[in-house]
Structure 1
Amino acid sequence: MKKADKNGSSSRKDILGISDAFEARLFKERSELVAAIDALKMLGHRIVLTMGVWDLPHIGHCRYLREARSKGDILVVGVDSDALTRKTKGPNRPTVPEDERLEMLANIRWVDILALRSENEHPDLLVQQVKPDVWVTSNTTRMFRSDAKKRLGKYCGEIVTLDAQATISTTARISQLERTGVSQLGRDLVELLEKHGVATTSPPPIALSKKRRGK
């Protein structure tokens, strides 16, 4: 737990860059997060909030975070827990566990504060607690459609929706890796059988991929 005075001064030093420690940027207790945000607002800092899974981080994530950070002075990033991600994305996600995703995000220069979102909390909760000057969302995010933005608008100074920042997505990257892996497996199997004198006809990679997904 972070040590801070009533105004949250010790946490402010870490957040503002005097320390780049991962633990200083991750707020596990929401009461501490709210206190730190209030203190930063009192200092005149413009608070930006964005949320997501951030699974298998790629260049689109980095560009998105950079653009979000440009809207203010302090970027707060909500990160979906493993349990919440399984609930929203399916049983095979996330690819990267929450501890690793959090630490990787903490080492991206645009990220100032991290908060983990749990499976049981209401989707609106972090927005209601942070009350950001700017809430940044993506037009590829299903969770926060126009009705949610209308509902949560009273907690935000401004809502900004960004386009996808890269042609690749995490889902597409995972599918690409699966196809590549299955294709290589097929080639290795054909080579092994031919070494042992077994005649084969190499099946097309897409056929192998479909068989794998069907299991």
Structure 2
Amino acid sequence: MKAREKIKTIPEAHDMVQIAHQEGRRVVFTNGCFDLLHRGHVRYLEEAREWGDLLVVAVNSDRSVRRIKGPSRPVVSQEERSEVLAALHCVDVVIVFEETDPLAVIEQIQPDVLAKGADWPRDQIIGADFVESRGGQVVRIPLLQGVSTTAIIERVRAISVGLDPFAEQGKE
């Protein structure tokens, strides 16, 4: 299957999840901007996938990312972010959503497991109450320390002005 074939509309993803549930499969949902995909994202998604049989990744649209992160983001378009995510073996379905928060999408998808990074306090995880009210589970996945899109952007900025992007880390 080609990566772009994993990119679905929300109604298509809903139908796939319903079939998965009928087959007794466990559906995991996560969401994020996923701008400048890095190994921290990959490890997070691999861990999320281990909690079930089907991993649905909801990606914030370009407009949504701008509302959250500011006018200079995203660096990578929603189409590119979606296709790169879909190319990961651990990702089964990718959807794009316009809202700033994923609650409406979570309610439509009705996952068994809601996965978020451990940097999110439990009481701030949007959709947690909904998932748990249906007998589902919320998991907080540890993040890879020191790896972030913001850190990558800062390294690129350092390079652009002739600085060593790894000088602070003591790397060559």
- Map Cα deviations across residues 4-28 of structure 1 (whole Å, 9 max, x no partner): xxxxxxxxxxxxxxxx123431112
Provide the rounded CA distance (Å) in 2 between the counterparts of 1:34 and 1:64: 23
Instruction: Trace 1:50-129 onto structure 2 (pairs within 5 A).
Output: 50-119=30-99, 123-129=102-108
Count of aligned pairs = 162
- Map Cα deviations across residues 34-79 of structure 1 (whole Å, 9 max, x no partner): 1111011101111000101111011101100100000111000000
- Relative contact order higher in (CA < 8 Å, ≥ 6 apart): 2
Alignment of 1:164 with 2:143, yes or no, is: yes
**Larger Rg belongs to:** 1
- Quick one: structure 1 residues 101 and 150, their matched pair in 2 at CA, closer, same or farther if it must change by over 3 Å? same
Provide the rounded CA distance (Å) in 2 between the counterparts of 1:122 and 1:57: 20
- Map Cα deviations across residues 104-147 of structure 1 (whole Å, 9 max, x no partner): 1111100000110114x7630111111111110013358x8157
Alignment of 1:34 with 2:14, yes or no, is: yes
Alignment of 1:173 with 2:148, yes or no, is: no
The structure richer in helix per residue is 1
Q: Which residue of 1 aligns with 2:124?
A: 145
What 5-or-longer segments of structure 2 have no aligned partner? Answer: 164-172
Provide the rounded CA distance (Å) in 2 between the counterparts of 1:64 and 1:122: 19
Q: What residue identity is the alignment partner of 1:26? A: I
- Quick one: structure 1 residues 183 and 48, their matched pair in 2 at CA, closer, same or farther if it must change by over 3 Å? same
Q: Residue 65 of structure 2 aligns to a residue in which SS? A: helix
Identity of aligned residues (%): 33
Alignment of 1:25 with 2:6, yes or no, is: yes
